[in-house]
Every structure is written in C-alpha cells, then in structure tokens.
C-alpha cells in the first residue's frame, strides 16, 4: 500500500519555496510544448499559456504545420515550430526531426496536448529520450500517455526526470488493468515508469511519497483543464523546480484557481481558459 498522502496546504508550499529565478526569460527557463494537431491546437495553446502564467521564460510551441501560422498569430508570446502533418492534419511519423534542436536546448518539455493520432504520437514519444538534453525534464499528457504503455524501454532513460498527468482512462491504459483508487493507481504508475504522477488531485513520487490537494471541486472537470495543469507543471520545471515540487505546486495552484472561479462564476461552467488568469493571483497569495 502507498504511504498516506501529505495534505497540500499554502503553508506546505511556503515551506517548500520555488527556486529563485533570474530576471531574463532565459533565467526563467526554456519551455517546449509539443502537440496541437490541426483539429485541436487549442489544447497545446492552453498548456503553453499556463507555462507562461506560472513564470516560465522562453516558450516554443510545436504544432501541426497546417495550423502553425494561425497559432503564431493567436499566441504572439510564443515561438512556433511547424510539425509535419498528414492530409487530415494529424502530426505525422517523423515530425520529431523538426524539433530536434528545440528538444536538445529546452529545460522542460511537454508532449501530448492536442495530439490525436496514435502512430505520430508514438513516434514522438519513442524518440524523446534520445533527443532531449541530459538534464531536460519531460512531462507527458493526454495522447502521449495513451501510447506510453507500449514504450517502457524507450522511456526508461527518463526515469527520475519524468512527470505524467493521466486521467482515469489513461491511467488504466498505462497500468493495463481497471483503476479504482487514485492514490494506489498513481503510486503504481510512478513505480512502473519512474515518474512523478498527478492523478485526480493526488501526486505520487517514485520514492514512495504522496501528496493530496487540499482544495478544488467538480468544476475543474471541464474540457481543457488538464492541459492547463500539465502546462503549469512544465513552466515550474523550467523555472528550476524539481519534478515532485512542480507537480505538487501546480496541482494545488490549479485547484485553487478553480476555487476562485467557483466564487466569481459559479461552481460549474467556468472555462479552462479562465483558469489561466487566476494562476498568477494564486501564486501571489501563496507567496511565490
């Protein structure tokens, strides 16, 4: 059985302060978000914006070539790298070649938001460990988790610097069996892949430690909310947080942002994009 989780509170976060960052965008880390098929570029854009909202520095967003220009206009804060796509707008096998330099120089890489086809996604995830820098931290989310179960050997070099943010369906895919308890399932995924895992408000680390968010409600269960969470984790990693710290902080900040919107908008019906503006305010409240 996994250890009883530690409750995440503002005091816990203050005692586990985020690293000081430099004054330039490079001092706050280089973020690369890889995702965004032609039909779903918004997911990658939510993640990318969340990475900036938590203080990440230089941002590059890699999306399907057919929508890259549109994304560049819609998100002017980001550099945009086109990924080869097929006639249907799915990111193609071999697309990783166009981001090799970005993968090698990034401090933190997120792969998955807005991907929607298994072959291209599998090719991206399979090539990550060989392409990223020796100290690059990696987050897998969404469709990247759907293919990760078949890529244990390819992901093994990333053990200890990997974060996974599955939903319940992706957790079942990663484990190959039905899931029923977030803490137990997160701990099992963490041990199997050597990753810090954020699942349903629980964070589990490979060393056996676990944390549970101390806030948040059902309104967070909305389209795009998980993309905001994974982006926030990635931005904190770029700032210098370690994998467990980034996951714990982002999980709590994401939930607290939802609490703020539950008061302003209502307990249900606020949008994932509305979480983005609340994130810096929550960070100020915590003292980050």
Span 117-126, average pLDDT: 96
Q: What share of the chain is helix, strand, coil (3-state, %, to 5)?
A: 50, 15, 35
Nearest to 37 by CA among 151, 133, 126, 121: 121
Q: What is the pLDDT of residue 23?
A: 67
Nearest to 132 by CA among 165, 109, 162, 163: 109
DSSP assignments along 232-269, one per residue: HHHHHHHHT--HHHHHHHHHHHHHHHHHHHHHHT-SS-
- The whole-angstrom separation of Cα 243 and Cα 236 is 9
How many residues are recorded in the chain? 288
Q: Inter-axis angle of helices 182-193 and 168-175, to 10 degrees?
A: 50
What 8-state DSSP symbol labels residue 24? S
- The whole-angstrom separation of Cα 156 and Cα 194 is 8
Q: What is the pLDDT of residue 24?
A: 64
Angle at 85 between CA 122 and CA 74, to 5 degrees: 110
Contact 164, 191 (CB under 8 A): no
Q: What is the pLDDT of residue 53?
A: 97
Write out pLDDT tens, residues 192-218.
999 999 999 999 999 999 999 988 778
Contacts 24+ apart (CB under 8 A), 206-209: 206/159, 206/160, 208/2, 208/3, 209/3, 209/6, 209/244
Percent of all residues in the chain with a pLDDT value above 70, rounded to a whole number = 97
Write out pLDDT tens, residues 57-110.
999 999 999 999 999 999 999 999 999 999 999 999 999 999 999 999 999 999
SS (H, E, C) 173-240: HHHCCCCCCHHHHHHHHHHHHCEEEEECCEEECCCCCEEECCCCCHHHCCCCHHHHHHHHHHHHHHHC
Write out pLDDT tens, residues 148-193.
999 999 999 999 999 999 999 999 999 999 988 999 999 999 999 9
Among all chains, which residue has been given the structure tokens 């710290």?
245
Q: Which domains, and CATH codes, for the chain?
A: 29-286 (3.40.1190.20)
- The whole-angstrom separation of Cα 170 and Cα 148 is 10
Write out pLDDT tens, residues 11-59.
999 999 998 876 666 778 999 999 999 999 999 999 999 999 999 999 9
Nearest to 114 by CA among 178, 13, 180, 39: 39
């Amino acid at each position: 059985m996994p250890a009883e989780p530690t409750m995440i509170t503002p005091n816990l976060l203050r005692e586990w302060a985020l690293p000081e960052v430099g004054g330039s965008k490079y001092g706050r880390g280089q973020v690369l978000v890889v995702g965004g098929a032609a039909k779903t570029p918004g997911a990658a854009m939510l993640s990318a914006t969340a990475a900036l909202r938590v203080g990440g520095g230089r941002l590059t967003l890699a999306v399907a070539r057919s929508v890259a220009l549109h994304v560049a206009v819609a998100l002017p804060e980001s550099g945009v790298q086109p990924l080869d796509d097929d006639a249907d707008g799915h990111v193609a096998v071999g697309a990783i070649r166009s981001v090799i330099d970005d993968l090698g120089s990034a401090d933190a890489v997120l792969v998955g938001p807005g991907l929607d086809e298994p072959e291209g996604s599998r090719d991206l995830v399979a090539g990550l460990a060989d392409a990223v820098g020796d100290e690059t931290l990696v987050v897998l989310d969404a469709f990247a988790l759907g293919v990760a179960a078949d890529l244990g050997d390819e992901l093994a070099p990333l053990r200890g610097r990997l974060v996974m943010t599955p939903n319940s369906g992706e957790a079942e895919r990663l484990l190959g069996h039905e899931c029923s308890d977030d803490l137990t399932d997160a701990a099992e995924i963490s041990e199997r892949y050597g990753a810090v895992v954020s699942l349903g408000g629980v964070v589990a680390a490979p060393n056996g430690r676990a944390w549970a968010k101390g806030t948040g409600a059902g309104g967070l269960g909305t389209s795009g909310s998980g993309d905001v969470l994974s982006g926030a984790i990635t931005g904190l990693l770029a700032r210098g947080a370690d994998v467990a710290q980034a996951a714990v902080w982002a999980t709590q900040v994401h939930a607290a942002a939802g609490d703020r919107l539950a008061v302003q908008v209502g307990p249900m019906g606020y949008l994932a994009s509305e979480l983005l503006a609340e994130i810096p305010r929550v960070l100020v409240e915590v003292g980050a």
